[in-house]
Amino acid sequence: MGTILARKRQDGTTGYTVLIRIKKAGKVIFSQTETFDREAPAKSWMKKREAELAVPGALDQPEDPPLAKLIEKYNADKLRPHGKTKDQVLRSTAASSLGEIQCSKIQSHHLIDWLRAMTSQPQTRGNYLSHLAAVISVARPAWGYPIDKRVAEDARVAAEKLGLISKSKERNRRPTLAELDKLLTHYQVAERKRVDCIPMTQLILFSIFSTRRQEESCRMVIEDLDRNTSEIVVRDMKNPGEKIGNDVTTLLPAEALQLIEARQVLQGRIWPVNAGSVSASFTRACVILGIDDLHFHDLRHEGISRLFELGWTIPQVSRVSGHRSWKSLQRYSHLKQDGDKLKGWAWLPSTA
């Protein structure tokens, strides 16, 4: 039933992969692989596993892989790829000691020990547990693996009470008009000197008026713009757990649409620049100008806050911001309808 394949690794060592495959009526009814660093343990495990599978009724038992194999199966069967963060979290989880435990043997206390071993902040630990819980939740219904989703649910309750995990803290930092004037003047001077630099003045203004993240703005293509409805499709919009393939049609306020039209792009990306470079440039400018604790993402918060101050309702704002859940926008409900703080602002785009 079993064969051993020896393969050279990139680091020069040799890995010995045991492949056990059982066929019935010409069809594979069971397949399992395991890799070892030495040939002797590989042969020993293959012999033991073959004996276990030869016992009557053994193949009727559900497969019970280690957690690392479950994660591998989850990644292979997903129709949409993960975002970078989730992919990194699952890879590191699979490589941890937790990844070596068989599904049927994993209990909530194993997850608690795994969280305790992390040197990360409670918010980061919470993200790790959330991503792992998504894997565990589909293990039994999708593949029949013997692990209950309550393992992760119970671990979350215990971890919260022990202070091991917590939700990310909400930032409430908003730029002042004086800070925005400093930034925009700084970039306007730079852009007059160099025509090939990042169009930061436009991107800052667009982030405020459209409420878009820098990654989303830098991915936008003119083909996704519908001028008749003043809507644009935001590709791979960030949302809890998933991002890739999450395409959302959003409403463009008049100022945001005017900024796009000013680009005079006929095809392709509207702002063909690297999102990481935008963020890095913004951070450097804040240091130069003495602006403390301001992130590019705070411009989105400013834009959403402004819409509520203009008297927009949660459903109306969600069409612009792209929030799936209105609950996420309830944090803005305390804002007073003070009108447009940017009325008469020198940097206000013409909407005529």
CATH of the domain at 220: 1.10.443.10
Q: Which of 27-41, 91-105, 123-137 comes out lowest in average pLDDT? A: 27-41
Q: Is the pLDDT at 341 greater than 70, yes or no? A: yes
In terms of domains, do 181 and 285 share one?
A: yes
Task: Identify whether 338 is part of a domain.
Answer: no
SS3 of residue 67 by DSSP? helix
- How would you list the strands of the sheet with 231-234, edge to edge? 225-226, 231-234, 248-251
* Residue 268, domain extent: 177-332
Residue for token pair 């038992």: 61
Residue at a domain's end among 161, 190, 222: 161
Q: Domain end: 127, 161, 195, which one?
A: 161
Whole-structure pTM value: 0.64
Residue 232 backbone phi and psi in degrees, to 5: -140, 145
Question: If pLDDT is split at 50, 70 and 90, which confidence band does 148 have?
Answer: very high
User: How far is Cα 89 from Cα 302, in angstroms, rounded to an integer?
Assistant: 30
Residues 186 and 266 in one domain: yes
At residue 351, the pLDDT reads 61
Q: Are residues 117 and 214 in the same domain?
A: no
Closest CA to 172 of 258, 268, 298: 298
Is the residue at 195 inside a domain?
A: yes
For 50, residues 6+ apart whose C-beta sits below 8 A from its C-beta are: 1, 2, 20
Residues 306 and 220 in one domain: yes
Residues 95 and 235 in one domain: no
- Provide the number of structural domains found in the chain: 3
- 54-63, 145-154, 191-200, 269-278: lowest mean pLDDT where? 54-63
pLDDT higher than threshold 90 for residue 86: no
User: Collapsing DSSP states into helix, strand and coil, what is residue 333?
Assistant: coil
Q: Which amino acid is at 205?
A: L
- 314 and 215 part of one domain: yes
Helix (H, G, I), strand (E, B) or coil at 250: strand
- Spatial separation of the C-alpha atoms in residues 230 and 199, rounded to whole Å: 22
| Same-domain pairing of 22 and 45 | yes
- pLDDT for res 338: 83
Token pair 């009325």 in the structure block, residue: 343
* Pairwise CA distance, residues 36 & 40, whole Å: 9
pLDDT at position 52: 86
- What is the reported pLDDT for 61? 66
Please say whether the beta carbons of 335 and 304 come within 8 A: no
Mean pLDDT of 53-79: 84
Residue 24 lies in a domain: yes
